[in-house]
Amino acid sequence: MYISPILFLKNRSYWRFFLLVLWIVPAIHSFAQEEVIPLYSGVAPGSEQWDWEEGVTTNTPIKLRIVYNVKQPTLSVYRPDSANGAAVLLIPGGGYYVINIESEGNMLARQLVKKGITVFVLKYRTGRTLSGDPWPEMLNNLKDTSNRQKLASVHPLIIADAFTAMRYLRNHAPEYDFNPNKIGVIGFSAGGSLALKLCTTDKHEARPDFAGLIYTVYRPAANDTMPATVPPVFIACASDDVLASPANSTALFGAWLKAERPAELHIYAKGGHGLWQSKSAGNWLRRFEEWLEEIGMMK
């Protein structure tokens, strides 16, 4: 049936239909990109006795979705329309009590797939949250000097999730159409500490080929050195970050240089913890993509 363009412009019902289609089609395409797969078959090893339920809330300073009380780790897969051969494991932060699954996970995944990168967002196990308001509880836990004791039994499980996720990427590269030698990791805050564990492992199948350590928490032990096998690294932070001092990032940069491994460091004057409080800091992902091109991971 032919519809006159003039009639179309005058008829409001046609306009409403047209706008609805414009909204629905991209939404369908976006949802089709995501595939959620369990990290383990059955109950995750080590958390068989966890009887609490996973929760979701947007009661955070930036009003974006976070998850907490995670006991079943998953990978959310985002496939590009035209793959360039690179893959990235995203590890969001949250102090190991919550996971910033949207701001440091899904939102970034949707940006990276536009560049042809296959993206996997890791939802790992977390420490137990007792209240119905996990964000302030997480902040209080971070201030508590006994926090490390609270996480003592959970932290090894969280690390195991990160290693299992990276091995999954390495073993399933042909299935997802990316190069098994172009697998990277980007970690944020506490997630950056997990990414660092992967970078420094002596197990090749779990070690990434490149890394982004974004406002990462890094507390090196005395005489701590980076192995000569660490991958090229991109480091970014803000000088006004009150949760992860830029000294963490400068120490990482220095450790990489001491190991004589490629490293790039960006310190923004403003941006806070999250790099969203200034326009220049908010462009860190563009700088990361440029860096990937320079080291040959985007070809």
Q: What are 48-77's pLDDT values in tens digits?
A: 999 999 999 999 998 999 999 999 999 999
> What is the Cα–Cα distance from 105 to 151, expressed in whole angstroms?
23
Contacts of 262 (CB under 8 A, 6+ apart): 232, 233, 256, 295
Whether the Cβ atoms of residue 67 and residue 123 lie closer than 8 Å to each other: yes
Residue 150's pLDDT is 82
| pLDDT at residue 31 in the model | 39
Q: Is 179 exposed, middle or buried (0-12, 13-18, 19+ CB in 10 A)?
A: middle
**Could you give the CA distance from residue 244 to residue 238 in angstroms, rounded to a whole number?**
9
Task: Give the model's confidence band at 26: pLDDT under 50 very low, under 70 low, under 90 confident, else very high.
Answer: very low
Average pLDDT estimate for 148-170: 94
The secondary structure of residue 105, as a DSSP letter, is: I
For 133-143, write each residue's pLDDT tens digit: 999 999 998 88
167, pLDDT greater than 50:
yes
Q: Terminal CA-to-CA distance of the chain, rounded, Å?
A: 46
pLDDT band at 13 (very low <50, low <70, confident <90, very high): very low
Give the tokens for residue 55.
């929760």
**Cβ–Cβ < 8 Å for 195, 185:** yes
Task: For residues 242 and 286, give the distance between their C-alpha atoms in angstroms, rounded to a whole number.
Answer: 24
Residue range 175-199: mean pLDDT, rounded = 97
Identify the three-state secondary structure at position 188.
Answer: strand
Alpha helices in the chain (DSSP H): 5-10, 12-33, 107-112, 134-143, 147-150, 155-171, 173-176, 190-200, 246-258, 279-282, 284-294
